[in-house]
Structure 1
Amino acid sequence: MKVLFVPHANRAHLHIMAPLAWALRTAGHEVRIASQPEIADAIMAAGFVPTEVGQVRTAMPDFYPGRRADEAQPIVMAPGDRQEMPLQQDLSRDGALEKLSRASWGFALFSTEAMIADLVDLIRAWQPDLVLWDSMVYAAPVAAKVCGVAQARIMMGPDAITQLRQATRDEGDPLRDWLAPVLEGYGSRFDEDVAVGQWSIDPMPPWQWRPEGPHFVPIRPIPFNPPARIPDWLRQPQERPRVCLTLGESHRNGRGTEAPTSDLLDAVSGIDAEVIATFNAKQLATVDRLPSNVRVVDFVPLSVLLPTCSAVVHHGGAGTFSTALDCAVPQLIIPGTHWGFQWWGPVAHANGLQQQGAGRFVADADHLTKEALAEDLALVLKDPSFRENSERLRREITGVPTPNDIIPVLEKLTREYGAGPTTS
């Protein structure tokens, strides 16, 4: 069969999709990847020929569901105070309709009319049997619906869209309000499959919270890195424990939503460990002096670095989270600013890790103190149960079907749901 992948214009999201794309390709299926021009080079680096749709975005929108004007400044914590860990299931407790409205507005910026039109033209010309789409890119299910092609989401975090839509069922549906007129313009109609996919491929671990309702097909996340060389220092014997400090690929533009680099470096300066900080020049612009125990590298593949680490401190992104799980490394999570982090996944990741005894929710970027991070890092490095539980979770995740394992499932579901062309 022919399978069209539609990732968000974000390299980290593409890397989550890439192992499944290659599993389909090596199983003999034809695969294309269509996205906005920003990640064309990344698609080529992953081994595929990109098909560009839509236009280059000149800037990312200021998109944080539920943000209010009075939340724009960091919160000053009293000495010794710690932020209580929020819960993913509480995202819809207050202001669910406002959060869903902001989410729908943001998704519309990611899925422009031009991108939808390009995808419709591509699907009509190439006639794929299945469209697999990043859970943030609604241009894909709209185009698939217009063309009568089977389609499924690939989750990039918790299913917050379902969570919020279930909570606002009696108040309204901003997602429908946006997409229904678009579909009507093509002579089609909105239905639930457009909102949540005909099914959802879910690389999140089985113990992570998710709403009831959608058809989830579990898949084991496989770490995927862009082309890189292993640095010489990583081949040398370690003299003391190593800690990775990273904000991932999605937080390298310094948009002010992540924890300040200077605060993170200050917090790790006193620990007896070698800290590998994957920061670029922009992230280091406000740093006057590096602590003596910190080595800064612009990029190093986490799948190579993390097996040498005793802990990883990060923002809670799906790629870093999954790679750390695969490497059995205890995780300390510091999500971005508190007005949006339950949407993207860090809170759900932190909830599960802390409940499983394999990590800690330190604080979000607004509530972070260097004392909190230093305290949690010392605890994780000292207490062997964090490593033991991380190793247990790794053993459990190996039992989840791999991308190769789910190919027959995708073939079966495509036959069941496909109403359009079947040219393979």
Structure 2
Amino acid sequence: MRVLFVTVPFKTHLYVFAPMASAFRTAGHDVRFATAPDLTDAIGAIGFMGVPVGGTIPMDVMMSSTEPDRGPDRSNLPVYRPAQTDYRKVKDPFTELELTAFGSSTLYHHEDIYEDLVQLASDWKPDLVLRDPFMFGAGLAARVSGALDARLLWGADTLAQLRADCYGEGGGLHRSEGRPDPLRDWLAPIYERYGFPFDEEVLLGERTVIGWPTWTWRPKDVDYIQSRPIAFHGPHKVEKWMFEKPERPRVCITQGVSHRDFNFGQTGAAETLFNAVADLDIEVIATFNAKQLGSASIPDNVRVFDFVPLNALLTTCSAVVHHGGYGTMATALELGVPQLVVPNIYWNEKWWASVALANGLEEQGAGAYVADADQLTPELLREYLVKALTDPDMISNAHRLRDEHLRTPTPNDTVAVFEKLVAQRKAGGGTGPLT
């Protein structure tokens, strides 16, 4: 079986795909990645073949220059913690859909990418296309080759949520006809140029692989394949101290790498985070670079590193403060570490992953939604951190989620599901329920 992965040019997204790609490769299948030219070196560095499609888009310039007004300063307002289902309450979902169409079309789809994907599909003829949820052009590769078209989520399935909020649940074909639809307006002419109609499968695929736990919110009417999230941090160096048991409780603070790599949005301020832990009898490992640190004073109990592999570090940590990203979430779940989530602020980005995770952790009693980055205070974080370190129920619930996590089907199991689906399609059975 030939499997084509199509991802946006973020290393963090590539690393979400890597365990699944490895599972297909070790099962004997031929695997390739298609992405923007500037990510192909990173693909080669982790042992896969990267095929450049489209051109390079200056992501750092685009993302920092096109960020809309964040609205009024909320630092002195009561902390507001939304639920994943709050779209229809706090914002017009059509506005969110317009932002999604604008961001996906300008950031991820170079003008040449469609022709390149069609050519790749015609030449290589993949049997399965697994794509980032925002790489809508990848559906062309699936249709040209007759491949099964599936999404691999790195966050909550907010696109399906938006489609339902805008056009109603049910997922029927052409359900948006006669109503404003910026995604259709963008993609329909492109698909029709290559002889394919626009329908909901262009956006949501035929199947969706979801790595987010079953206790995180997800929309109805999507055919999900549940798969265990596996943390992958790319090439890295492990040092002995990371595994050594610390004399005091150890806490990791990380705000991810995508924001700092591409200089967009707002993360939790280092000064605020450090002030929260300065007077606690703990050891803190903070993964910040010089720009994130700025002029912040580093307390005596804080050690700062540009990067630390979390699969090593969190084995000795009693809690982790993070932005709600896939890799940190997967590592903390696997190791049973209580999680305190401080979502980053950039457009509607917080809705795509961190809010659903934070909501679920609170409901499960295994962590907390502390505050968005622009409303975080040292006092608030200190309060939650003390609880994460001392509350036996939170610690026990984190261990319970670890056990549930380890019982979740692995990427190896997911490969077996797709092997059956592809075989069924080739035998003329379509992609309905497995028989």
Q: TM-score, normalised to structure 2's length?
A: 0.90
| Secondary structure at the counterpart of residue 33 of structure 1 | strand
Is 1:226 the equivalent of 2:234?
Answer: yes
C-alpha separation between the residues in 2 aligned to 1:329 and 1:402? 20
C-alpha separation between the residues in 2 aligned to 1:266 and 1:251? 22
| Secondary structure at the counterpart of residue 51 of structure 2 | strand
| Secondary structure at the counterpart of residue 373 of structure 2 | coil
Structure 2: runs of 5 or more not aligned: 168-175, 429-435
| Secondary structure at the counterpart of residue 92 of structure 1 | helix
Q: 1:417 to 1:179 in 2, by over 3 A?
A: farther
Residue 342 of structure 1, CA deviation: 4.1
Is 1:396 the equivalent of 2:393?
Answer: no
Runs of 4+ in 1 over 6 A off after TM superposition: none
| Secondary structure at the counterpart of residue 385 of structure 1 | helix
Once the two structures are superposed, what CA deviation does each residue of 1:86-117 show, in whole Å capped at 9, x if it has no partner?
10011233310011011011111212331121
User: In terms of mean alpha carbon deviation, does 85-94 or 305-314 score higher?
Assistant: 85-94
In structure 2, which of residues 173, 181, 185 is the aligned counterpart of residue 177 of structure 1?
Answer: 185
C-alpha separation between the residues in 1 aligned to 2:425 and 2:280? 55
List aligned pairs for 1:90-169, cutoff 5 A. Answer: 90-93=86-89, 94-109=91-106, 110-169=108-167
Is 1:38 the equivalent of 2:38?
Answer: yes
Once the two structures are superposed, what CA deviation does each residue of 1:151-186 show, in whole Å capped at 9, x if it has no partner?
100011111111111111174322112110110111
User: In terms of mean alpha carbon deviation, does 109-118 or 393-402 score higher?
Assistant: 109-118
Residue 419 of structure 1, CA deviation: 10
Alignment check: 8 A CA contact 2:31 2:49 kept: no
Who is 2:12 aligned against?
Answer: 12
In structure 2, which of residues 259, 265, 281 is the aligned counterpart of residue 272 of structure 1?
Answer: 281
Who is 2:432 aligned against?
Answer: none
Cα RMSD, aligned residues only: 2.1
Q: 1:86 to 1:72 in 2, by over 3 A?
A: same
Q: 1:217 to 1:63 in 2, by over 3 A?
A: farther
List aligned pairs for 1:164-313, cutoff 5 A. Answer: 164-169=162-167, 171-253=179-261, 254-287=263-296, 289-313=297-321
User: In terms of mean alpha carbon deviation, does 2-11 or 258-267 score higher?
Assistant: 258-267
Is 1:349 the equivalent of 2:361?
Answer: no
C-alpha separation between the residues in 2 aligned to 1:380 and 1:9? 35
Of structures 1 and 2, the one scoring higher in RCO (CA 8 A, sep 6+) is: 1
Alignment check: 8 A CA contact 2:277 2:382 kept: yes
Q: 1:156 to 1:419 in 2, by over 3 A?
A: farther
Who is 2:173 aligned against?
Answer: none
| Secondary structure at the counterpart of residue 388 of structure 1 | helix
User: In terms of mean alpha carbon deviation, does 205-214 or 33-42 score higher?
Assistant: 33-42
C-alpha separation between the residues in 1 aligned to 2:358 and 2:404? 18
| Secondary structure at the counterpart of residue 122 of structure 2 | helix
Q: 1:179 to 1:338 in 2, by over 3 A?
A: closer
Q: 1:290 to 1:419 in 2, by over 3 A?
A: farther
In structure 2, which of residues 69, 83, 86 is the aligned counterpart of residue 87 of structure 1?
Answer: 83
Once the two structures are superposed, what CA deviation does each residue of 1:190-243 show, in whole Å capped at 9, x if it has no partner?
122111011001111011110001100000111112121212322434100000
Alignment check: 8 A CA contact 1:63 1:106 kept: no
Alignment check: 8 A CA contact 2:253 2:320 kept: yes
| Secondary structure at the counterpart of residue 244 of structure 1 | strand
Partner amino acid, structure 2, of 1:261? A
Who is 2:422 aligned against?
Answer: 414
Alignment check: 8 A CA contact 2:152 2:209 kept: yes
Alignment check: 8 A CA contact 1:77 1:369 kept: no
Q: 1:414 to 1:360 in 2, by over 3 A?
A: same
| Secondary structure at the counterpart of residue 131 of structure 1 | strand
Partner amino acid, structure 1, of 2:237? R
Q: 1:419 to 1:268 in 2, by over 3 A?
A: farther
C-alpha separation between the residues in 2 aligned to 1:375 and 1:309? 18
| Secondary structure at the counterpart of residue 233 of structure 1 | helix
Alignment check: 8 A CA contact 2:149 2:207 kept: yes
C-alpha separation between the residues in 2 aligned to 1:116 and 1:63? 25
C-alpha separation between the residues in 1 aligned to 2:13 and 2:316? 25
Partner amino acid, structure 2, of 1:393? L
Alignment check: 8 A CA contact 1:150 1:419 kept: no
Who is 1:54 aligned against?
Answer: 54
Structure 1: runs of 5 or more not aligned: none
Partner amino acid, structure 1, of 2:403? R
| Structure with the higher fraction of residues in helix conformation | 2
In structure 2, which of residues 355, 369, 381 is the aligned counterpart of residue 373 of structure 1?
Answer: 381
- What count of residue pairs does the alignment treat as equivalent? 414
User: In terms of mean alpha carbon deviation, does 294-303 or 162-171 score higher?
Assistant: 162-171
Residue 121 of structure 1, CA deviation: 0.9
Partner amino acid, structure 1, of 2:186? W
